[in-house]
Amino acid sequence: MSRQHRQRERRAFVSGATSGIGLAVAERLAADGAQVFICARDAEAVARTVKELRDQGADADGTACDVRDAGRVREVVEEANAPAPVNVVVNNAGRGGGGPTAQIADELWDDVIATNLTSVFQVTRGFLAAGLKDAGWGRVINIASTAGKQGVVLGAPYSASKHGVVGFTKALGLELAKSGVTVNAVCPGYVETPMAQGIRKGYADFWGVTEDEVLAKFEAKIPLGRYTTPEEVAGLVGYLAGPSTDAVTAQAINVCGGLGNF
């Protein structure tokens, strides 16, 4: 099968795709010619995003899904595969969460792990079992974080969940190495998204400073001097989802403006 043929037949699934990185990824993959199936918790936001993608000329569809719900995940895998098998899976759905560890409630810890880590396993397992592992070619791309490679102050649940995503990615990438299905993690640093705004507010409240002061503190740590954009993260996803990356697997690749060089 030629690379061009593979490119034309890509069908992508993107979770958490109604804003931020997920939306940018869906737009990028659609612009690259992939059919796109999206999901997120808010049904109205999914419908609005599907319409926007179609208005841009994309072949797009989607449905509401809480990726913490294993039963619903199984249903969505079936829905996404119904028109044609999905061969590009982008696990992007996630949330922040942290605070002083001694004060972290069980419910917060459990929800961060369920949203950021367990869902990646359940979604990926679903598509693999539905045929992706035997398709001969495919891509699993997990949106992790530089917090999946180093500790984050006041972010123990988030950092633990993203370390888990990186470990899962590397293990599965080795498992599937000879199958033609690559598995990689994209590790953004500070990215300007609605979630990033919420994180800055949390730090501002804890430190007793303004959100602008938190932003300045974070930007000072980035060699590039600014936050990464969702479109820049989507650029790496688009590359990994393309036909020329068959030899790139079991990797965790940073998009962080030099914040982490590991």
CA distance 109 to 87: 32
Give the active site residue among 158, 190, 203, 227.
158
**Chain position carrying tokens 């530089």:** 146
Choose among 141, 199, 196: nearest CA to 172.
141
- What residues are paired with 181 via a beta bridge? 138
- By the 8 A CB rule, do 170 and 246 touch? no
Specify the amino acid at residue 197.
Q
Count the Cβ atoms, other than its own, within 10 Å of residue 185: 28
The answer to whether 118 touches 73, Cβ cutoff 8 Å, is no
d(CA 146, CA 164): 12
- Rounded Cα distance, 98 and 49, in Å: 29
Q: Is 158 a catalytic residue?
A: yes
Pairing of strands 35-40, 88-91: unpaired
Active site residues: 158
